[in-house]
Amino acid sequence: MKITIRHWHAIAQWRWDIGGTSDHDDADAEDDVCGICRVPYEGCCPACKMPGDDCPLIWGECSHVFHMHCLLKWLGTAASKQQCPMDRRPWVTAERKIAQPVAPAALPSTAPS
């Protein structure tokens, strides 16, 4: 028997790594929307056409997450007083900590010489 593949569709799925929710189930998916525009994190802000790297998320030290463009639009207004829309604390952008496997070579040696 000979099989000829005429065409095929590759399908991929992606999600922003919003940290600590790797075992996220779909029941929580509804909460995964930007509080400002109410569009899912994996969607894009109302000003963009394509989701992805061109419309990234932004994390605050307060742990709240928004589409970066939505938050910047808010912080650009005098009314924002530079506060997080969720908790009204001064907005401080968090350093993005990406969990990466620690290479053994990078571990400090504890063996006495």
Q: Which residues bind other proteins (CB under 8 A)?
A: 35-39, 46-47, 70, 73-74, 77, 79, 85-86, 88
Taking the complex as a whole, the smallest distance from the CB of residue 50 to other proteins amounts, in Å, to: 13
Of 19 and 40, nearer to other proteins (C-beta) is 40
Distance, CA of 99 to CA of 20 (rounded, Å): 10
Q: Give, in order, the Cα–Cα distances in Å from 32 to each of 8, 11, 18, 21, 96.
A: 32, 22, 9, 11, 18
Look at the chain and count its residues. 113
Taking the complex as a whole, the smallest distance from the CB of residue 68 to other proteins amounts, in Å, to: 14
Taking the complex as a whole, the smallest distance from the CB of residue 71 to other proteins amounts, in Å, to: 9
Of 82 and 105, nearer to other proteins (C-beta) is 82
Taking the complex as a whole, the smallest distance from the CB of residue 86 to other proteins amounts, in Å, to: 6
Of 37 and 94, nearer to other proteins (C-beta) is 37
